[in-house]
């Protein structure tokens, strides 16, 4: 898939994620031995997180947004890293000596979905996610590069998406491309997490009520609806107030409140300014769609942001939404 990756970069579909296009990152994705010269095998692992349907949303008449279910619990970087360390220790115990290794969980330049497919974990679906026929697609991937040979599993060669296009049809921003890649610059997950500046005005209405990430292309997938379990690893169980945050409370979060609420959470990646930017957009979208008392409360909350909020990025989006 390296040629697909290069073509994707050449088309500018990585948006402002410049770290994906650096020469060092490209070289390492082309050959994992540039990461670990002794590498002879790569162990690819997956860990489930909960499906969005695990938690029932609050009454639809309220001012509630949505957070992608992967971020409901503890930060997966911290959880999985500790388990990778433990697995490396186990391997070295079995071998009886130190083993050259490097491990990643969304933390380094590696084509992990390609490796996962070659390791037999599933196939890359039309929504660009790796799909396992028994587990669906709600799982994190991780890799351990090893300086020893291990028995290889058979690759997963079947494409079980068939003629289904539910994910493509359901994407709010039409960011899913025909070649199983996506235009990240239009993806709601990119807009609400990776993008550090202003969300393009023409895309703001399509963000809907999402304040961190998006699950739509996975929610409509039949493999998740029919076969994937709802529960994930207990470490990723939903924390109170995270899956469906109250806009009127979130828009008032001080830096201290934000750090306290999202301590140990993936949501901290977007920082307070990015999170409140997203809340302002989602609150405006909700108010515009429902009107009435909700619109009045939204106007009051966004007006207060204009008066009191020190972050220009948040004020600018509040003004636009008003």
Report pLDDT for 293.
86
**Residue 220, CB half-sphere, CA atoms under 13 Å: how many?**
14
How would you class 178 by CB atoms within 10 Å of its CB: exposed for 0-12, middle for 13-18, buried for 19 or more?
exposed
Report pLDDT for 60.
63
List per-block mean pLDDT (blocks of 10 residues) for the chain, which spans 322 residues: 96 96 96 97 98 88 91 97 97 98 95 97 98 97 98 96 98 97 98 98 97 98 96 96 96 97 97 98 92 89 96 98 94
Tokens of 181: 């890649």
Beta bridge partners of 48: 139
DSSP category for residue 257: H
> Can you tell me which residue has the tokens 């994705």?
29
106 assigned to active site: yes
> Can you tell me which residue has the tokens 């084509």?
111
CA distances from 219 to 53, 129, 136, 302 (A): 8, 12, 10, 31
Report pLDDT for 291.
77
DSSP string, 169-236: HH-TT--B-TTS-B-GGG-HHIIIII--SPPPTTTGGGGTTEEE---HHHHT-HHHHHTS-S---GGG
Tokens of 160: 């079980």
CA distances from 276 to 59, 110, 210, 304 (A): 22, 32, 12, 13
**Are β-strands 123-124 and 130-131 bridged in parallel, bridged antiparallel, or unpaired?**
antiparallel
Give the integer Cα–Cα distance in Å for 116 and 235. 22
> Can you tell me which residue has the tokens 């957070």?
67
Closest residue by Cα to residue 235 from 88, 78, 67: 78
Tokens of 239: 């924390």
Integer-rounded Cα radius of gyration of the chain: 21
Is residue 218 within 8 A of residue 127, CB to CB? The reply is yes
Give the integer Cα–Cα distance in Å for 69 and 90. 31
Closest residue by Cα to residue 187 from 142, 234, 128: 128
Give the integer Cα–Cα distance in Å for 114 and 125. 12
Q: Which of 31, 74, 75, 106 is catalytic?
A: 106
Closest residue by Cα to residue 130 from 18, 267, 27, 228: 228
> Taking the complete model, does pTM exceed 0.85, yes or no?
yes
């Amino acid at each position: 898939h390296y040629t697909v990756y290069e073509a994707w970069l050449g088309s500018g579909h990585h948006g402002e994620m410049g770290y994906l296009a650096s020469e060092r990152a490209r070289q390492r994705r082309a050959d994992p031995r540039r990461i670990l010269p002794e590498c002879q095998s790569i162990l690819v692992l997956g860990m489930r997180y909960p499906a969005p349907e695990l938690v029932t949303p609050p009454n639809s008449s309220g001012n509630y947004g949505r957070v992608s279910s992967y971020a409901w619990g503890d930060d997966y970087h911290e959880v999985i890293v500790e388990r990778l360390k433990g697995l490396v220790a186990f391997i070295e115990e079995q071998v009886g000596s130190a083993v050259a290794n490097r491990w990643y969980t969304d933390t380094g330049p590696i084509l992990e979905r390609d490796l996962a497919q070659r390791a037999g974990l599933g196939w890359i679906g039309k929504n660009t996610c790796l799909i396992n026929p028994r587990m669906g697609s709600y799982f994190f991937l991780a890799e351990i590069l090893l300086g020893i040979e291990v028995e290889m599993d058979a690759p997963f060669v079947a494409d079980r998406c068939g003629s289904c296009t539910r994910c493509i049809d359901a994407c709010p921003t039409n960011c899913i491309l025909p070649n199983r890649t996506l235009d990240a610059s239009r993806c709601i997950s990119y807009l609400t997490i990776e993008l550090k500046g202003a969300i393009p005005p023409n895309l703001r209405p399509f963000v809907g009520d999402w304040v961190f990430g998006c699950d739509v292309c996975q929610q409509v997938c039949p493999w998740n609806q029919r076969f994937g379990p709802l529960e994930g690893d207990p470490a990723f169980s939903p924390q109170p107030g995270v899956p469906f945050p109250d806009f009127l409370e979130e828009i008032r979060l001080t830096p201290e409140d934000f750090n306290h609420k999202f301590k140990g959470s993936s949501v901290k990646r977007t920082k307070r300014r990015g999170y409140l930017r997203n809340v302002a957009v989602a609150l405006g979208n909700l108010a515009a769609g429902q009107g009435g008392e909700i619109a009045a409360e939204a106007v009051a909350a966004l007006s207060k942001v204009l008066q009191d909020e020190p972050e220009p990025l948040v004020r600018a989006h509040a003004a636009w939404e008003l």
